[in-house]
Amino acid sequence: MSVEAVLERCQQVVEDPHYGEAEAWKRAVPGRRIVGCFPVYTPLEILHAGGMMPLGMFGAGNTIEIAHADARFQSFVCSIAKTTLELGMQERLKLLDAALFSSICDVARNLSSVFVRNFPDLHVVYLHYPQNMTSPAAVDYTVSEYRRLGRNFEAALGATVTDAALAESLGVYNRWRAQLRALYAFRRDFPHLLSTVELARLVRAGTLMPVEAHLPLVEEVLEALPSRTGRPRDRIRVVVESAFCEQPPLALLEVLEEAGCSIVDDDLITGWRWFLEDVPAAGDPWRSLAESYITRSTYSSVRHDGPRPRSEGLVRKVRAAKADAVIFLPAKFCEPALFDYVLYRQALEREGIPHLVVEFEEKMWTFERTRNEIETFVESMLFT
């Protein structure tokens, strides 16, 4: 299958308002379960080991009109919370057997309670991550939370997570994430051969289908990419930051690229690419997963730094990608992203790295003002 054919299939998966790929997987074998996962990070391996399919709940973008969710939230809440709830209110999440939330922000915490109140037939689970990453007890605490999650799913859904099954799932997801890292490395080195819009569509599809079905698609793309042809353009190399939860519209990413930016790294769908290296397969798989969360994961605005300040992590990312600038894409009303911008800005200014801030909402549909901002920023760097 060609790169274009794979990307077209992924586009169909991403744009399907009825989650047809996941629905087909569930119908194929009686008793299969699907668990909706609200960003940022979910221990996917635990769900997979219990025979369940993780389904990314990233809101609905422009595919839905808000008719009910506004009555359950304040006006100053991010779009992803509203459109995710609206999907449930319009019964478009009926395929879910459970929904999993975690301690990433106040909105996510409250959204889990709103789900409990409004969808009594849906099993809702809340996962508490450690707040003190430097504590000697952080790994043990995370192990206990992961095991509690496994027991919870066994009691509520009959999904048993054995050590052997979890170890096998670690191997599956290690292979999948290794391929994603290879994709990102290719885009970093050859952004004119793989656009960020294409990459985002391919990775987003992986949150909406079984990993066993997505992995071959990624492998096909990786195999075919070197044969693609294209001429490098006169653009600036940028890192996109702060889009770790609510995802920017693909049309906005297109505007960035059309306005003269080669995006060479980003934090889009970062929770599904959470680990910087493989999770060790030897030993206790629960502990391996917990240790990886503490020590082998990327920096993020939704967790405490511990000994690794995330502002330094951003500077390292910029240097590794040989980027010229950073474009911050925080979702409107996203407090973690907006608070962290102050720290990021100070670090970038110390290092002499230019940056620009562009807020967005899921339901944005016009980008002319943004295009002018980006073009002015690009021209200021190319012609001064």
In a domain, 278, yes or no: no
In a domain, 371, yes or no: no
In a domain, 99, yes or no: yes
CA-CA-CA-CA torsion sign (156, 85, 81, 206): positive
Cα 188 from Cα 194, distance rounded (Å): 9
What pLDDT shows up at residue 65?
Answer: 87
* pLDDT (average), residues 151-176: 98
Could you tell me if 188 and 264 are in contact, meaning their C-beta atoms sit under 8 angstroms apart?
A: yes
* pLDDT confidence tier of residue 287, bands split at 50, 70 and 90: very high
Mean of per-residue pLDDT scores for the chain: 95
What pLDDT shows up at residue 352?
Answer: 97
What pLDDT shows up at residue 27?
Answer: 97
* pLDDT (average), residues 205-218: 98
- Token pair of 75 as six digits: 């006006």
- Token pair of 85 as six digits: 């709830």
What pLDDT shows up at residue 253?
Answer: 96
* pLDDT (average), residues 281-309: 91
* pLDDT (average), residues 258-279: 97
In a domain, 337, yes or no: no
* pLDDT (average), residues 336-360: 97
DSSP 40: S
How many structural domains does the chain have?
A: 1
In a domain, 329, yes or no: no
Cα 363 from Cα 368, distance rounded (Å): 15
In a domain, 294, yes or no: no
Q: Which domain holds residue 54?
A: 3-164
What pLDDT shows up at residue 308?
Answer: 76
In a domain, 150, yes or no: yes
The enclosing domain of 21 has a CATH number of: 3.40.50.11890
In this model, does residue 363 exceed pLDDT 80? no
What pLDDT shows up at residue 74?
Answer: 83
Q: What percent of the chain has pLDDT over 90?
A: 86
Estimate to the nearest angstrom the gap between the alpha carbon of 210 and the chain centroid.
16
In a domain, 290, yes or no: no
Could you tell me if 20 and 212 are in contact, meaning their C-beta atoms sit under 8 angstroms apart?
A: no
